[in-house]
Amino acid sequence: MRKVEAIIKPFKLEDVKEAIAAVGVQGLTVSEVKGFGRQKGHKELYRGAEYVVEFLPKVKLEVVLSDDKVRSVVDAIVKAAGTGNIGDGKIFISPVEEAIRIRTGESGDIALS
């Protein structure tokens, strides 16, 4: 079981969600985060004083899935989230040992389906 985490541009969320659903993944969890990276933030004005907002709004997706689906989900994300511009984001893959569905208590891959 793996967790695929993707940091993407907020306005791509809808597309990515659809791309992931298209490869047969049922669930995912999304959070609003702020990113700091190569993409530079914007300036803001405050009564004639300028300052730079370094953290940019990003969206983090977390999907836990069985190992066989990792490849196709990663590909789907790369395709759907890419704009070719700096700041498109990152995908991280890490191991997950167990998943449990709270409602039923089921565990393992079946909890993800």
Partner 1 sequence: MGLTLRLRGTSVVRGVRILALLLALAGPMFAAWGQDAADAVDVAAATEEAPTPEAPAIDSGDTAWLLTSTALVLFMTIPGLSLFYGGLVRSKNVLSVLMQCFAITALVTLLWTIYGYSVAFDTTGMEDGTFNLNSLVGGFAHIFLKGVTPDAVTLTIPLSVFVCFQLTFAIITPALIIGAFAERMKFSAVLVFTALWFTFVYAPICHMVWSGPGSLMGSLWGVLDFAGGTVVHINAGIAALVAALLIGKRKGYPTTPMPPHNMTMTVTGAGMLWVGWFGFNAGSAVAANGSAGMAMLVTQIATACAALIWMFIEWFKHGKPSALGTATGAVAGLVAITPASGTVGPMGAIVIGLASGAICFLGATSLKRGLGYDDSLDAFGVHGIGGLVGALLTGIFASTSLGGQVEIDIVTQFIQQLKGSVVTIVYCGVLSFIILKLIDVTIGLRVDEAQETQGLDISLHEEAGYNI
Ligand X SMILES: Nc1ncnc2c1ncn2[C@@H]1O[C@H](COP(=O)(O)OP(=O)(O)O)[C@@H](O)[C@H]1O
- Residue ranges that bind partner 1, judged by CB under 8 A: 11, 14, 40, 42-53
34 lies in the site for a copy of itself, by CB under 8 A? yes
Angle between helices 13-22 and 70-81 (to 10 degrees): 150
Q: What phi, psi does 32 have (nearest 5°)?
A: -85, 125
Residue 96 near residue 2, CB atoms below 8 Å: yes
47 vs 103, which CB is nearer to ligand X?
A: 103
Binding stretches for a copy of itself (CB under 8 A) = 2-3, 6-8, 17, 26-38, 54-55, 58, 60, 64, 74, 77-78, 81-103, 105, 111-112
